[in-house]
Structure 1
């Protein structure tokens, strides 16, 4: 009987720790998305998650560890937002990008802006850039040049056309609506692919 009670207690504690970690990650994700890296504090994340700073520290070790875990945690959400895009489908690709950027674009752009001052952000961005490049190569595979040099150049052009910076320029700096932004992104992508 004592063994069963101990096992139940350990299971309940483990489940509680998972829920606490999830709350912290959600609070951290919201904080990092809404503010520059230097403006996010462990105390602010702890308060938003309803835990102590020591609890945040126990789970993640540091602010850098918390950021890395939060980005990893939300990477699956980005994959879900982008969904499955049929190879070569420009409209589907633009819709996928718009879902992603409309939800996370401002936070992504702040991360880009902060990367020069924060080495942890630089390495995370390099990984994200590689993932975006692979996504473009996969989605537009049927419409890319057969030769490696031409293909690489086209993917680089597609990257420039679909980068979060392009979305930010259109939506925030130029004040384009979401519909206008979709149309411009489509036009840029089609223009690149027509050269192939």
Structure 2
């Protein structure tokens, strides 16, 4: 039989973890609504149903909070973009769905990359996209003498800016954007 103290300690630990997640999610929600520089600890705490002191106890500082939020968002992004390697249609579908969810946020972050803190976020994001391309299209890239060039082209064809040009600037539907991105990807992969 478990002691009352053991149960109480586990319940406190669970409550602490839940509070931490609420704070992180609040920070991420706010970053989708406004520039990162504009986000205050008061806003995060209020949205999370916590005090500023609680936020500071969990993360130490505003920078600590933002670093933890970036790490959580990166994990979310990797999960959202998951598709079977070698399935071009599934990869393009996943990346367009990801952009539909986060594309405007990503573009807002890219517009702030002159800020060293934001540059530290978007730089790894660019590397993540390239790694995603190499993973998703690995079977089609094997033994290609022009592999580096093909990866470059696939990065461009599936980039958030390609989505922006078609979806935001042209006003096309998500399904049409997906079809056009897939046409680009297939044309690139068909290159001799």
Distance 2:62 2:169 in 1: 30
8 A contact 1:85–1:96 mirrored in 2? no
Distance 1:142 1:11, change over 3 A: closer
- Equivalent in the alignment of 1:93: 91
Residue in structure 1 matching 2:113, options 108, 112, 115: 115
Q: In the TM superposition, what is the alpha-carbon distance from 1:145 to its structure 2 partner? A: 6.3
- Equivalent in the alignment of 2:135: 138
Could you say what secondary structure the match of 1:10 adopts?
helix
Q: In the TM superposition, what is the alpha-carbon distance from 1:177 to its structure 2 partner? A: 1.1
- Tell me whether 51-60 or 139-148 shows the greater mean CA deviation: 139-148
Distance 1:86 1:186 in 2: 15
TM-score by length of 1: 0.88
Distance 1:22 1:151 in 2: 41
Distance 2:104 2:21 in 1: 22
8 A contact 2:23–2:55 mirrored in 1? yes
Question: Aligned-residue CA RMSD in angstroms?
Answer: 1.9
Unmatched 5+ stretches in structure 1: none
Distance 2:72 2:52 in 1: 20
Distance 1:11 1:145, change over 3 A: closer
Q: In the TM superposition, what is the alpha-carbon distance from 1:72 to its structure 2 partner? A: 1.6
Count of paired positions: 191
Cα deviation, 1:37-61, whole Å, max 9, x if unaligned, reads: 1221111111100111111122112
Distance 1:155 1:78, change over 3 A: same
Question: Within 5 A, what are the aligned runs for 1:29-178?
Answer: 29-87=28-86, 89-117=87-115, 119-144=116-141, 146-147=143-144, 150-178=146-174
